[in-house]
Structure 1
Amino acid sequence: METQRIVVGYDGSVEARDAVDWAADEAARTGAPLRIVYAYQLAWPAAAMYGQVTEVLATEAEERGDHTVRDIVEHVRRRRPTVEVTGSAVHAEPAPLLLGQAAGTRLLVVGNRGGGGMTNLLLGSISQQVATHARTPVAVVRGRAGTTDGPVVVGVDGSGSTDAALALAFEAAVARGAEVIAVRAYSPPSPAVVPLSAVEADERAALEASLAGWAEKYPGTRLTALLAVGRAARVLVGMSHTAQLVVVGSRGHGGFTGLLLGSVGQQLMHHAECPILIAHRPDDH
């Protein structure tokens, strides 16, 4: 059976090149083919508005895009000669272009920041569209993108996305020969309301229930369960300093509420010190 591909967005920026390198490393680890997509727009709206030399300008933009793609494809071939890599330059908006690549794709990869077609990939509507609407896992490459040390950290909250996140985390850990640290974060109520020991016992039981069966499914991978007191975003960002990957679900509740649309997702995207992997359930859309 054909291995599903990895697709990475590229715009010529340093951050996007880091994303391509990370995606190529992932392709080498998994044996997946790699596809690089470059979205470009015409930079001369006034000329287009008045119908002036638009054909010439469009041809020039296409040629620049093709040249950019050829360069990055050759870069990957030199760096990772065993990876099957292709690329294309398309006159399109970047988010719809990337989302349209989901069919037959195991992973969409984007960089932390960009220029040109991928500008503000994490700071505006493009990031929300890709991370929220993708029907496949999304990797956001940032921080120590090239590190191969440290565990794979996965956020666990007992929501419907937990199993998808755990599956993705274990797959990533197996490919890397890394440990999985499954962390559940919680903020305890006042001791006057509920005894802290009772809250901790309930939270630990919930964590253990979420992890039931996973160690048996992946006996060769070390699994550590960690119960952390604090806000989820702060806990995960803190752990990203020593992790090589942080995996989270696309939806959550409790400590991970609003992962993509609220403060937790924004803090991870802005402050995590390693790449982030966002898992999607089949019924997320």
Structure 2
Amino acid sequence: MNMTRIVVGVDGSEPSMAAARWAAGEAQQTGATVDLVHAFDWDYYGGRFDGGNILREWAEDKASTTLADAAAAVAAVAPGVTVSHEPVLGSAVPVLLEAAADASMIVVGNRGRGGFGSLLLGSVGQRLATHAPVPVVVVRGRPDIGAGAVVVGVDGSPAALDALAAAFRMAASRSARLIAVRAYVPPTPPWGVNVEPVVYDVAERDAELHAELDEQLAPWREKFPDVATETLVAHGSPAGVLVGLSHTARLVVVGTRGHGSVAGALTGSVGLQLVHHADCPVLIVR
């Protein structure tokens, strides 16, 4: 993996331009380069039959214009960042997966133009978030994320601990506060006759989870002493809690999967809910 190369999927839509601008800022902070990738296919409505050459030339010209516009967006944010770009014939998902094989991350917008050259979340974006071999950032939500915190979902699973490590690095590079969140749904009292009540001290469980969070954060607090941290134990579904926090966050970080719904974990489905509903960029770590 090349830890200094960020791959950005662009298709000319405003969400993909937002992804290019976010990647530019990340590259400026980390010393990375930006590789803009636009996948196109000129086989459109039977274009490989009569008149196919004309359509292919049009598609290539459009791809070059799209990439030039994205490169200009990167330069406007981070003039000193090295940018490479090349149109690639093929479908978006396999092209981006191949391009990112030795990259540090893939960055895409939350949706694209749909159909031709699409990066529509729910198709390309969702498949990347699920199958990419490297971390994926889906840039979405409000246009100005300001100086909010980096929020990370933690449940003790290996994937969540990887997310915690990435969140500390992100917070450190941005001089941002970090909020580590453990969300769970307390059991509800049983209904019906002859049913034993649930013996469950919620306050005691909250204290245990706070202690677990402090233990999990301890080595990272030592490694990144300048990062201000906060732990939060919240009642509710992990996705709902993290979406709520995204309204004031600059970035939400999660692992690909956690311990499962019984443990109130951050599963792959939670990550996918975030990339559909969060109000700020989402980093899915793998």
Match runs of 1:90-101 below 5 Å = 90-101=88-99
1:119 paired with 2:118, answer yes
SS of equivalent residue, structure 2 residue 63: helix
Q: How does 1:1-285 map to 2 (within 5 A)?
A: 4-42=4-42, 44-48=44-48, 51-115=49-113, 117-119=116-118, 121-124=120-123, 126-190=124-188, 192-193=197-198, 194-253=200-259, 254-259=263-268, 262=269, 264-280=270-286
Change in Cα spacing, 1:3 to 1:250, as seen in structure 2 (3 Å) is closer
Alpha carbons of structure 1 residues 3 and 201: separation in structure 2 relative to 1, 3 Å? closer
Q: Residue 248 of structure 2 aligns to a residue in which SS?
A: coil
Structure 1 segments of 4+ aligned residues over 4 angstroms from their partners? none
Mapped to 2, the partners of 1:186 and 1:70 lie a distance apart of 46
CA distance in 2, matches of 1:12, 1:80: 19
CA distance 1:169–1:86, shift in 2 (3 Å): same
Aligned length: 273
Q: Could you tell me the TM-score, scaled by structure 1's length?
A: 0.89
Q: Indicate conservation of the 8 Å contact 1:188/1:199, yes or no.
A: no
State the Cα deviation string for residues 140-193 of structure 1 (Å, max 9, x = none).
Answer: 000124423111000001111122101110111111100110000011114631
TM norm structure 2: 0.88
Q: How many Å apart are 1:120 and its aligned residue?
A: 5.5
RMSD (Å), alpha carbons: 1.9
Helix, strand or coil for the counterpart of 1:46? coil
Decide whether aligned partners of structure 1 residues 29 and 161 sit closer, same or farther in structure 2, where only a CA change above 3 A counts.
same
CA separation in 2, counterparts of 1:203 and 1:52?
A: 66
* Worse-matched range after superposition: 231-240 or 111-120: 111-120
Separation (CA, whole Å) in 2 of partners of 1:106 and 1:97: 16
Pair 1:276–1:118, CA change in 2 (3 A) = farther
Amino acid corresponding to residue 17 of structure 2 in structure 1:
R
Identity of aligned residues (%): 45
What is the CA distance between 1:29 and its match in structure 2?
1.1
Counterparts of 1:234 and 1:66 in 2: how far apart (Å)?
40
Structure 1: gaps spanning 5 or more residues: 281-285
- Counterpart of 1:239, as a letter, is L
Q: One-letter code of the match for 2:28?
A: A
Any unmatched runs of 5+ in structure 2? 190-196
